[in-house]
Amino acid sequence: MSQSTMVVAQATTTEAPAPAAAEEGAAPAGEAGHTTESTGAEGGHGGFPPMDAHSFPSQIFWLVIFFALLYLLMSKVALPRMAAVLEKRHKAIESDLSKASALKHETEAAIQHYEKSLSDARANAQGIATETRSRIAAEIEAERSALEKTLSAKLAEADSRISATKAKAMQDVHEVAAETAAEIVSELTGHKVSKEHAAKAIAGLKG
Amino acid sequence: MAQGIDPIHQFQLHDLAGPWNIAGHEISFTNSSLFMGIIVAVVTLFLLVSAARGALVPGRLQSIGELWYEFVHNMVKNVLGHEGKAFFPLVFTIFSFVLVANMLGMFPYFFTVTSHVVITATLAVFVVALVVVVGIAKHGLGWFKLFVPSGVPMVILPFISVIEIISFLSRPVSLGLRLFGNMLAGHIVLKVFAGFVVLLASMGLGGIIGAIAPLGMAVALTALEFLVAFLQAFVFAILTCVYLNDALHTHH
């Protein structure tokens, strides 16, 4: 932009003397024609062609015609077509963009749906897992208590059997001791001692 | 030979048909008129061909046409705003006319329509007259407040108004002469340097070697002239927008 203004400024300064010349050429049309003819030694029409007032009517006339023609062609034909092409592209881009955003929304909704079902499934699985775990734990507990009961019953039975056996064994020990004592006494003294006596004596010793 | 290197000869008008007269004025169809017709044909055909396919993904030609359209469209939108829509075809026509006139002038032996002051002055006067007409049509006589800026002390207001009016009246002069002067001067300088090449080269071996410098200059100037051709069309169009903005929005 700075370059263009520079050129403009340059142009206006260099053309400072030009307006005077232009007015001289333009204002007295007839005179200008005369002077160019009298000094016109260089070319066919004479003078400096761009300042030759003789040609002005023709140039203005054709400029008006062709400029008006160009304006009509531009405003009625060319520019509307150009605008239609650009509008078409603009619309296409816009519809593509809106389509893309709609698809994006759809994708997001699908992702959300997927996430939701995923978390649902996860919660479901967790529920099933806890339920199963507690059920199994209950089963194990029941089995264990049943087993413990039978075990303790067996234990008690074994205990009673052991104590019965022990008592019987003790009994046997007493008998053997009495017998042995009677034998020993009879051997030593020669007296026959009954088993009952011996047993009584032994019971008297124990105390 | 002398005619071949005369830098003014390229601006010569000659009748192609005629002479015709309307109310005592000669309106013969000249080479200038022919090139105006060519401008109309080039602009119209180019845009129609580039818009013909209307492809969603533009090809090269369509891209250029769309670039052209959007360039002017954005210019009008940025300077004039929403109300400026009605003036878009006009600004586009002015820009395209001047641009293609300038660009066609870059071809050797082609006539440069915008190198004649009457053409650029007519366009400039038309633009400023349109500003006045649109301004009065839109704001009534209140539009003339443009020349009476608000917030200026009463003492110096008359001077400011006179300066505003003078600056307004000088718009068509500067607008028209800027384009005319750029095209005229550029083509003359180009022709002078090209003429040097021919003159020096006709002077023998030393001359041919000496002609290298002006040839390089002519090449560089050709590039510069293409820039100027576009830039002046742009300047003319954007100033048209800026002036029209005065007509649409009076706040100064």
Residue A200 falls inside a structural domain: yes
CA distance B70 to B172: 27
**Does B135 map to a domain?**
yes
Question: At residue B94, what are phi and psi to the nearest 5 degrees?
Answer: -60, -50
B37 token code pair: 């017709």
∠ Cα A159 A161 A167 (to 5°): 105
Q: Let me know if residue B2 belongs to a domain.
A: no
Give the closest residue to B112 by CA, choosing from B240, B229, B235, B18.
B229
A4, B96: Cβ pair inside 8 Å?
Answer: no
| Domain annotation covers residue A54 | no
Helix (H), strand (E) at residue B166: helix B157-201
Question: Could you say which residues from 136 to 175 on chain A have a Cβ atom under 8 Å away from some Cβ of chain B?
Answer: none
**Is residue B36 classed as helix, strand or coil in its secondary structure?**
helix
Average pLDDT, stretch B45-70?
87
CA distances from B224 to A98, B33, B113, B230 (A): 47, 27, 19, 10
Tell me which residue of B118, B243, B117, B135 sits closest to A61, measured CA to CA: B118
For B154, which DSSP code?
T
Task: Report if residue A192 sits inside a domain.
Answer: yes
Phi, psi of B121 (to 5 degrees): -65, -40
B174: closest chain A residue by CA: A12
Tokens matching residue A92: 């296409």
Per-residue pLDDT averaged across A57-66, rounded?
88
A80 CB near a chain B CB, below 8 Å?
no
Residue A131 belongs to a domain: no
Q: What pTM did the predictor assign? A: 0.68
ipTM: 0.87
Q: What is the mean pLDDT of chain B?
A: 86
Q: Say whether residue A45 is in contact with chain B using an 8 A CB cutoff.
A: yes
Q: What does the pLDDT average to over B218-225?
A: 91
- The pLDDT score that the predictor gives to residue B129 is 92
Tell me whether residue A88 is in a domain. Answer: no
Tell me if chain B has a CB within 8 Å of the CB of A50: yes
Domain contains A185 = yes
Burial of A21 (0-12, 13-18, 19+ CB in 10 A): middle
Task: Classify residue B201: in a domain, yes or no.
Answer: yes
Helical ranges in chain B per DSSP H:
31-52, 60-80, 88-104, 117-139, 157-201, 205-210, 212-248
Give residues 52 to 71 of A whose Cβ lies within 8 Å of B: 52, 54-64, 66-67, 69-71
- Look at A92 and B56 and tell me if their CB atoms are within 8 Å: yes
Minimal Cα–Cα distance from A20 to chain B, Å? 11
* pLDDT of res. B56: 78
Closest listed residue to residue B28, CA positions, set A35, A45, A48: A45
Residues with Cβ within 8 Å of A143's Cβ and at least 6 positions away in sequence, in order, are none
Specify which of A129-143, B98-112, B206-220 reaches the highest per-range mean pLDDT. Answer: A129-143
Domain that holds residue B212: 9-248
Q: Per the domain annotation, does B4 fall within a domain? A: no
Q: Find the mean pLDDT for residues B217-234.
A: 92
Query: Does residue A179 have a pLDDT over 80?
Result: yes
A114 contact B CB<8A: no
The answer to whether the beta carbons of residues B143 and B247 sit under 8 Å apart is yes
**A204, A203, A149, A135: which is closest to A173 by C-alpha?**
A203
Residue B191 · residue B219 · CB < 8 Å: no
Flag whether A177 is in a domain: yes
Interchain contact, B39 vs A66, CB within 8 Å: yes
Q: Could you tell me if residue A190 is left (phi over 0), alpha (psi between -120 and 50 degrees) or otherwise beta?
A: left
State the CB neighbour count (10 A cutoff) for residue A152. 10
Enter the tokens of residue B249.
Answer: 């929005």
Outline where DSSP puts E strands in chain B: 15-17, 21-22, 25-26, 29-30
The total domain count for chain B is 1
Average pLDDT, integer, range A151-164: 93
Residue B213 within any structural domain of the chain:
yes
Residue A186 lies in a domain: yes
Residue at B3 is within a domain: no
Total count of residues recorded for chain A: 207
- Considering only residues B198 and B227, tell me which one the structure prediction assigns the higher pLDDT: B227
- pLDDT at position A46: 52
Decide if pLDDT at A10 tops 50: no
Confidence of residue B5 (pLDDT cuts 50, 70, 90): low
Q: How confident is the model at residue A18 (pLDDT cuts 50, 70, 90)?
A: very low
What's the distance, CA A81 to chain centroid?
A: 46
User: How far does B117 lie from chain A, in Å, by closest CA?
Assistant: 6
Residues of chain A found within 8 Å of residue B180, distances taken between Cβ atoms: 18, 50
- A33 close contact with B: CB closer than 8 A: no
| Highest-scoring range by mean pLDDT, A20-34, B25-39, B67-81 | B67-81
CA atoms A104, A106, A110, A112: torsion sign: positive
Assign 3-class secondary structure to A145-161: HHHHHHHHHHHHHHHHH
For chain A, how many structural domains are there in total? 1
pLDDT single digits (tens) B97-132: 999 999 998 888 888 889 888 899 999 999 999 999
Residue from the list B28, B117, B174 with its beta carbon closest to the beta carbon of A12:
B174
A85, A89, A91, A94, best to mutate vs chain B, most B CBs in 10 Å: A85
Q: Which of B38, B32, B7, B4 is nearest to B18 (CA)?
A: B32
**Of the candidates B40, B118, B231, which has its C-beta nearest A56's C-beta?**
B118
Q: For residue A201, what are the domain limits? A: 167-205
Q: What is the pLDDT of residue A12?
A: 41
